[in-house]
Structure 1
Amino acid sequence: MKTLKFSMILLALFLLKTFAQATPLNAATNDPKSGIYLTAFDYKHNQLHLASDQSTSNKFRLNDFFGGKTLTLSHEGKNYQFSKDSIYGYRDKDGNDYRFYKSNSAKYKILENGRIVIYERQQPGNKQTGFKPLVRYYFSDGVNGEVYPLSLHHLKNVFKDQPAFEVIDANFQTDDDLTKYDNYHHMFRINHLLVKLL
Structure 2
Amino acid sequence: MKTFLIILLGCLLQVGAAHAQTSQGNSGLYRTAADFRQRRLTLPGNCKTDGHRLRLHEFLSRPYLTVVHHGQEYRVAKDTLFGFRDCDGREFRFTAGKQYYPILNPQEEILLYKVEQAAVGKNPGYVRRYFSASAEAPVLPLTLQNVKNAFPGNRKFQELLDAQCKQESDMTAFDASHGMTMVNWLLKRSREPGTGR
The Cα shift of 1:87 comes to 0.9
Residue pair 1:115, 1:194 contacting (<8 A) in 2 also: no
1:75 aligned onto 2:88:
no
Residue pair 1:91, 1:97 contacting (<8 A) in 2 also: yes
1:44 aligned onto 2:76:
no
Q: TM-score, normalised by structure 1?
A: 0.74
- 1:119-141 Cα offsets, whole Å, 9 max, x none, are 12222424578x6x533221111
Aligned partner of 2:87 in structure 1 is: 93
Which region of structure 1 is more displaced relative to structure 2, 88-97 or 109-118? 109-118
Q: TM-score, normalised by structure 2?
A: 0.74
- Judged with a 3 Å threshold, the aligned counterparts in structure 2 of structure 1 residues 153 and 128 are, in CA distance, closer, same or farther, namely farther
- 1:44-103 Cα offsets, whole Å, 9 max, x none, are 111111111364142111111353211111112121111100011111111111110111
The Cα shift of 1:160 comes to 3.1
Aligned partner of 2:169 in structure 1 is: 176
Aligned partner of 2:113 in structure 1 is: 119
Highest CA radius of gyration, 1 or 2?
1
Aligned partner of 2:160 in structure 1 is: 167
1:197 aligned onto 2:196:
no
Residue pair 2:101, 2:113 contacting (<8 A) in 1 also: yes
Mapped partners of 1:70, 1:167: distance in 2: 42
The Cα shift of 1:42 comes to 0.8
Aligned partner of 1:185 in structure 2 is: 178
Mapped partners of 1:166, 1:185: distance in 2: 20
Amino acid in the other structure paired with 1:194: L
The Cα shift of 1:158 comes to 1.6
**RMSD value, Cα:** 2.1
Gaps of 5+ in 2: 1-24, 192-197
Mapped partners of 1:71, 1:144: distance in 2: 22
Gaps of 5+ in 1: 1-31
1:7-46 paired onto structure 2 within 5 Å: 33-46=26-39
Aligned length: 164
Counting aligned pairs with the same residue, the percent is 33
Determine which structure has greater relative contact order: mean sequence separation of CA pairs < 8 Å that are 6+ residues apart, divided by chain length. 2
Mapped partners of 2:44, 2:130: distance in 1: 27
1:139-158 paired onto structure 2 within 5 Å: 139-158=131-150
SS of the aligned residue for 1:50 comes to strand
